[in-house]
Each structure stands twice: as structure tokens, then as C-alpha cells.
Structure 1
């Protein structure tokens, strides 16, 4: 299927690894001109260099002025942005009890405030052109909070509320706003979380992995490429009537509708 995005400019946050990297590569493979964004300059250059028309953009979303700086760099390198994929690395795992205000502020700044700032910088031009795609890489914790990931649960749920509200405001302007919620996808982040959970439970990580896979109806962890294909479709011309949605890519893990 031709997704109809050849030549369009896409900006993918946190795209030097993991789900962001896979999503950026999927869009670039469809002919989009992609801004690979991350803190690691050399890695961003390496990934962008594999796709004609794509560029490397260095950005640390934890910094207060990062949104405006990124928008200026993206405009200079890619022109007006048609597709925006929101993404950020998850905060440190931990329980809800005992959270400090500093920890909460840090997570909310990166996972919510910065994502809103970046969206607001690109949204007016999308609306004026009558076409735009905003897709956020979230987590199934938005629908079913995950034990031991309190900061992620808090901040990502806030972003979900913002994006759902926004989707209804901009739908008539040809701009769609959606989220893709990963379950257990085989990334470095999942490896880190599995190691943390295994250590906390004093069990072997391979045993924990086996139990995790057994709980997934599909019987396995997903691949970043499978997840990225869902993101790419939501950025397509064909997905023009899909907005305000949270689409799970979890192998059937979440039991709710």
C-alpha cells in the first residue's frame, strides 16, 4: 500500500533508538523526509544518512528551551512539518508511594509539557494548510496503569487527555491526532525494565521473560517494526478519518476493550 506521504516532512522525537527510531525509519521508507531527533548526534546522523532527504536533529527534551530550538532547526532543515510523531524516553521505574515533587515535575516536564510545546509550535501551520498528522507514542499504561511505573502512568495519561481534547478541535482542519500504545515490545527500554523487575522480585530475568510472554495472547514480545507500521499507517492519507484514537499494539495483552 502506498501511504501517500512521499515528499512530506516528518519530525519524529526520540528517534535515535527504540520505537521512535523504528517509526522514523518506517516513514522514511515510505518516502517521507524525516527529521531523526535525539541527544546522540552521531547516531542521528547515522540513521538519517540511510534515507535520502532525511536529516539529523540534536535535541535534549529535558531542557527548557528545547522545543523552540528544535522547531527552528526543523524549519531550517526540512521546511514546514506535515507529520509530527511525539515520543520521549520513559522516566525511572518506581512506586507511587514516596514520590517527590521534583521527580513528578521532571517527568511531567519531559513527557507532557515539552510534548505540548512542540505540538503548539507546528500545529498552526498544519491547520492553515488543511493537512497534518500528529501521532504520539504512548503506553498501554494509559488504559491500564502498570505497577512500578508511577511517573510514566501519571505523565502519559496527562498527554492522552490533552491529545484527545485537541483532536476534536482540529479535525475539521484536516489534522488528525492519535496515539499508539505499545505493550511489551522488544526494545532496550523493555530489557531495562525487565531487569529492574527481576531484581526487585529476586527472580531470574529469563524466568520473568517467560512469564511475561505467557501472559500475552500472541505468545511473544512484539517487534519495533510491527509497532512502527501502525504509526506509519496513522500518518497516511488513507487514515484521514481516524482521529482521537488510542490504538494498542500489544499482542492482546490488555484485557479491556
Structure 2
């Protein structure tokens, strides 16, 4: 199937991680020029090296999302290299496991800036160009915690939920400009983040990581953790012309983990 996005420019935030890297790979395979941004330049370059070896188009960009003052210069660098951003994939790192109560205000503020405000401001920076061209895709990766809050991820549950409300509102505002705005949320996809969370839970509860993983797998309808590629391919479809009538939605890529309708 031709997704009709060859030579589009995509910015993938968090592209050095498991989910971001899979998204970058899937988009690049469709002929998209991919900018891989990550707080770790080494991680971003690792993703890009894999893409370049396959003859795909990509370059790495070191980007600390907590530094809001860098947004304009980072986007300007992308525009100089590949042109204006057509596809924006907002994929941020998650905060440490915490309760929802008794957290310092500075911790809330730190993660609000890097997880929420950065996404909003980066989107604001690329939207005018999308509106001029009457085409754009804004896809924000959150967490299954926005549907079913995950125990001991209080900050993550709260902040990611705010992005859902923002995304739904924005979809209504820019839909007539040929721009779609959607949320994707992973269930338990086999990435370093999930390994970290399983290890943290095992330590907290005095159990083995294997036991925690087995318990989690039992709750998934398809009986396994997801492959990052499966996540990346759904994001790429949402970025395509084939998904031009799909906006304001929250797409669960969870193997049936979330039990609510």
C-alpha cells in the first residue's frame, strides 16, 4: 500500500528510544525524511546510523525538551536541512515512578515543562507552516495510564492526561486546514522503559522480574508484550494520506490490555 508520504519531513521526538526509534524506522521506510531528536545525541545517532545503513534519509538532533528556549533554533535547523515539518511525532520520556500525592512542586513543574509544555510549544512552532500547506500530522504518544491509571505512576498519569485534552481540542481547531491530530498510547511494548518499570515493581514488591513480567503478560489479550515495530507502523499509518479522515482520536496499541470500552 502506498501511504503517499514520500519526501515528507517528520520530526520524531524521543527518537533514540525504543518506541521513537521504531517510529522513525517505519516512517523512513515509507520514504519520509526523518529527524531523530533525543536528549541523548548518542542514542539519536544510533537510530540514524541504522536508517542510513538501509539507505534511508535521516539526521540526528540533540534536544533537551526541558529547554523551551531552544525550540525555535532546533526547528530552524530542521528547516535548513529538510524543509518545514510535515509530520510531528510528540514522544517524550516518562517521569520516575511516584505516588500522586506528596510530590514536590518543583518535580511536577520540571516534568510538566518537558512532557507537556514542550509538546505544546513545538507544535505551535510548526503549525503555521502546516496550515499554509493545508497538510500536517500531529501525533502524540502518551500511555495506557490516560485510560486506566497505572499504580505508582502518579505524575505520568496526570500530565499525560492533559495532553489528551489538548490534542482533542486542537484537532477541532485545525481540522479544516488539512491537519489531523491524534493520540497513540502503548500498552506493554517491549522497550527499555517497560523493562525499567518491571524491575522497579519487582524491587518494590520483593518479587522477581520474571514473575512481574509473567503477571503482566497474563493480563494482555494477545498473551505477549508488543513489538516496537507494531507500534511504529500504526503511527506511520496515522501520518499517511490514508488516515486523512481520522482525527481527534485516541488509538490504543495495547494488544487488548486495557479492559474498559
Aligned to 2:74: 70
Aligned to 2:89: 85
Give the distance between the partners of 2:70 and 2:21, measured in 1 at CA: 19
Q: How does 1:91-240 map to 2 (within 5 A)?
A: 91-240=95-244
Q: Would you say the 8 A contact 2:16–2:46 is kept in 1?
A: no
Aligned to 2:5: 5
Q: Would you say the 8 A contact 2:140–2:184 is kept in 1?
A: yes
SS in 2 for 1:10: strand
Runs (5+) with no aligned partner, structure 1: none
SS in 2 for 1:144: coil
CA deviation after TM superposition for structure 1 residue 107, in Å: 1.2
CA deviation after TM superposition for structure 1 residue 207, in Å: 0.6
CA deviation after TM superposition for structure 1 residue 69, in Å: 2.5
Give the distance between the partners of 1:108 and 1:154, measured in 2 at CA: 10
Aligned to 2:48: 48
SS in 2 for 1:238: helix
The reply to whether residue 30 of structure 1 matches residue 39 of structure 2 is no
- RMSD over aligned Cα atoms: 1.0
Give the distance between the partners of 1:249 and 1:222, measured in 2 at CA: 8
Task: Render the CA deviation track for 1:157-195: whole Å, top value 9, x for unaligned.
Answer: 111111110000100110000011100000000000000
SS in 1 for 2:241: coil
Give the distance between the partners of 1:212 and 1:163, measured in 2 at CA: 29
Task: Render the CA deviation track for 1:12-49: whole Å, top value 9, x for unaligned.
Answer: 00101210111011100110000011122233234224
Task: Render the CA deviation track for 1:117-176: whole Å, top value 9, x for unaligned.
Answer: 000000011011100011011111111111110111111111111111000010011000
SS in 2 for 1:185: coil
Q: Would you say the 8 A contact 1:57–1:73 is kept in 2?
A: no
| Residue correspondences, number | 257
Q: Would you say the 8 A contact 1:138–1:182 is kept in 2?
A: yes
CA deviation after TM superposition for structure 1 residue 99, in Å: 1.1
Q: Which runs of 4+ in 1 moved over 3 A?
A: none
Task: Render the CA deviation track for 1:202-229: whole Å, top value 9, x for unaligned.
Answer: 1111011101100111111001001111
TM-score (norm 2): 0.96
Give the distance between the partners of 2:259 and 2:183, measured in 1 at CA: 18
Q: 1:245 aligns with which of 228, 245, 249?
A: 249
Runs (5+) with no aligned partner, structure 2: none
Task: Render the CA deviation track for 1:235-256: whole Å, top value 9, x for unaligned.
Answer: 0010000000000000101111
